[in-house]
C-alpha cells in the first residue's frame, strides 16, 4: 500500500477493530483512495495478491463495503462515513445467524439423543455416508 509505513499499521489496526481482515483492510482502504477502479489496479495498489483480490472483494461486498460491477470487474467503495454502520449491521446479521444455528442444533441434539440412548448403540451413524459413483 502506498501509505507512509508508520501510518499503514495504524490504518490497518483501525480497520481490524471494525472487523476487517488484513487483506480486506488493505483492499477497502485502497478502494477509498482510488475511488472506482478495476480489481486488478486495486490489487496492485493495495498489495493484495492478484490471486486473492476477487475473494477479498466478494467478502467486502458481503459486508456491504464495496460494490462490484461489470467485466472487467470494477470496485467502488461505500463512503467512509458509512463504514461503522455497515459493519454493525453485518455483525448483527452474523449474530442472528449464529443464534438460529444454535437453536437448530439444540433441536437436533434433543431429537437424536434419546434415540441413541434407547438403542444402546454407541456406534450409530448420524450422517448419511457419501457413495462415489
* Whether pLDDT at 24 is above 90: yes
Cell of 14: 483501525
Residue of 114 and 92 predicted with greater confidence: 92
Q: Where are the domains of the chain?
A: 1-121
- Convert the pLDDT of each residue in 81-101 to its tens digit: 888 888 888 889 999 999 999
* Whether pLDDT at 131 is above 90: no
Predicted confidence band of residue 128 (pLDDT cuts 50, 70, 90) = low
Query: CA nearest 74: which of 49, 51, 42?
Result: 42
Cell of 93: 446479521
Q: What is the pLDDT of residue 9?
A: 83
The architecture CATH gives domain 1-121: Orthogonal Bundle (1.10)
Amino acid at each position: 500500500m502506498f501509505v507512509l509505513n508508520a501510518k499503514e499499521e495504524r490504518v490497518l489496526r483501525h480497520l481490524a477493530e471494525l472487523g476487517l481482515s488484513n487483506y480486506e483492510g488493505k483492499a477497502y482502504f485502497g478502494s477509498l483512495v482510488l475511488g472506482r477502479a478495476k480489481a486488478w489496479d486495486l490489487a496492485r495498489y493495495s498489495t493484495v495478491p492478484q490471486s486473492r483480490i476477487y475473494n477479498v472483494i466478494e467478502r467486502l461486498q458481503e459486508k456491504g463495503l464495496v460494490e462490484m460491477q461489470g467485466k472487467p470487474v470494477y470496485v467502488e467503495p461505500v463512503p467512509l462515513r458509512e463504514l461503522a454502520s455497515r459493519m454493525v449491521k453485518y455483525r448483527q446479521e452474523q449474530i442472528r445467524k449464529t443464534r438460529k444455528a444454535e437453536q437448530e442444533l439444540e433441536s437436533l441434539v434433543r431429537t437424536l439423543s434419546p434415540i441413541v440412548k434407547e438403542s444402546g448403540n454407541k456406534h450409530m451413524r448420524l450422517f448419511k455416508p457419501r457413495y462415489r459413483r
